[in-house]
Chain A
Amino acid sequence: MTYQKISEQIRTMLYGGIPSDDAAFSLRYIAELVAQEVAFQARKNAFENSNNGETTYANDTFTSTFKNVNVAYDSVLKQNYSTLPQIPAALPNNQEIVNITPLGIQGRRRQIVLMKNKDKFMQDMLPAVKGFILAYIEDGKLYYDNIQEYMFNAVNITMIGAISSTGDLLDAELNVPKSSESEIIGKIFQMLRASKGLPEDVMNDARDLPTIQ
């Protein structure tokens, strides 16, 4: 299932069949809503698991890996960072980032440990632990801390509840369990149906509603 397919499904329901070219809701607009709902479903699923006595991990179907994400250098902060390819869902303790793997480093130091942003100041006061690369999230970026001698130019990042690719959203795979699809469809359909009934202002007259009936 792709974002295009689920968006078409919602749009077909909304317009009672294949819509005409006058359809106000485009596939791209619906797909953006779907992406936001996917993140919500990932979070909801994680808490449902938590209620069942498990730790707050979302179902694996919500995960997506972004490969070969570039590592850049911030000359002001004097830190290496990667821009998050997509924004994930919000889970407790930053569990939305499943793992970050630097490319080109072998052995046990292959994993980068994610810390909370607020823990950064404590980390700064401590001597660096050798062989332990840390990272924290800020401004949609992943900043690497304590890199020391380990140089890497790219990382693989696995996240939960994010759009599964950085290309055309409609072509992206919908990374949700099949059981969540109907809920996503239902919620977005209701949302769009509510706004579909509103009168449209077709007159360009600097007034929000038509002055001529």
Chain B
Amino acid sequence: MADINEIYKLVQYRANKSGFLGNISPNDFNLIFPRAEIKYFNSLYAQYYKTQRISDALSKFFTNPIAVTLTGTGTYTTPVNLFHVDAITVDVAGVQYPVKRVEKDRLANNLSSKIEMPTAKFPIYSEYDDLLQFYPIDVTGVKLIYLREPTTSVWGYTLVSSRPVYNSATSVQPEWSDLDIDNIIYLALQDIAQNMRDGMLQQFSQLETQQAK
């Protein structure tokens, strides 16, 4: 897997090879590359589970099943890095049953239903700002798998003779596989081209992004 220093060099190289004559500063890179990562993450998320390729790319960001402990009112405060709830299950006598997501406008219908009322075997949940509300409120054995946000990559450096020198200790490495890094680099190059108003680089990065799809 490529480290952030290699990626920074690659971005510089590809930008220069495509006619961009300027220098991409570490601050610009640290601003643009994480945005490209988020842009790429969002584009994959929009096609969630559509292909094996997308599932593979996102698989790094799925958590393992996490045991959920509810408060007395059936709530669970969501982890800060939660991006999307992928699956919630409940264990009843060793068998896993799905916990169904119910949107807020349908919640009362479920709670008052004679067929779809939440039970220990068929619980439901609704998602709020920073918590999940479960019904029945005393349900136990709940497990959560979620899609977390990618960490923000940083090219860390120290200034040596007023020049930035890569520092692995202060850097944050990207979590993506080599397969995805190229796509993220092209997205970053698009941003750089737009920012620098470089038509040639813009054309190159757009073409590469299209080909990557």
Interface of A toward B, CB cutoff 8 Å: 21, 26, 28-29, 32, 168, 204
Complex: how many Å from CA A29 to CA B98? 16
* Nearest CB of B to A27, in Å: 8
Would A29 and B100 count as touching, CB distance under 8 A?
no
* Nearest CB of A to B133, in Å: 17
Which residue of A28, A168, A204 contacts B115 across the interface (Cβ within 8 Å)? A28
Which residue of A21, A28, A168, A204 contacts B98 across the interface (Cβ within 8 Å)? A21
Question: Interface majority SS on B: helix, strand, loop or mixed?
Answer: mixed
Q: Within 8 Å of chain A (Cβ to Cβ): is B101?
A: yes
Would B115 and A29 count as touching, CB distance under 8 A?
yes
Would B121 and A32 count as touching, CB distance under 8 A?
no
* Nearest CB of A to B143, in Å: 14
What chain A residues lie within 8 Å of B116 (beta carbons)? 26, 28-29
Closest B residue to A32 using CB positions: B115
Q: Within 8 Å of chain A (Cβ to Cβ): is B10?
A: no
Closest B residue to A20 using CB positions: B49
What chain A residues lie within 8 Å of B121 (beta carbons)? 168
Closest B residue to A202 using CB positions: B103
Within 8 A of A (CB), among B66-114: 87, 98, 100-101, 105
What chain B residues lie within 8 Å of A21 (beta carbons)? 87, 98, 100-101
Asked, given contacts A21-B98, A21-B101, A204-B105, whether A28 binds B87 with beta carbons under 8 Å apart, the answer is no
What chain A residues lie within 8 Å of B157 (beta carbons)? none
What chain A residues lie within 8 Å of B122 (beta carbons)? 26, 28
What chain B residues lie within 8 Å of A26 (beta carbons)? 100, 115-116, 122
* Nearest CB of B to A188, in Å: 15
What chain B residues lie within 8 Å of A168 (beta carbons)? 121
Closest A residue to B121 using CB positions: A168
- Please list 10 pairs of residues, one from A and one from B, whose beta carbons are closer than 8 Å in the complex, sorted by A's number: A21-B87, A21-B100, A26-B100, A26-B116, A26-B122, A28-B122, A29-B115, A29-B116, A168-B121, A204-B105
What chain B residues lie within 8 Å of A32 (beta carbons)? 115
Closest A residue to B100 using CB positions: A21
* Nearest CB of A to B62, in Å: 15
What chain B residues lie within 8 Å of A204 (beta carbons)? 105
Complex: how many Å from CA A168 to CA B100? 19
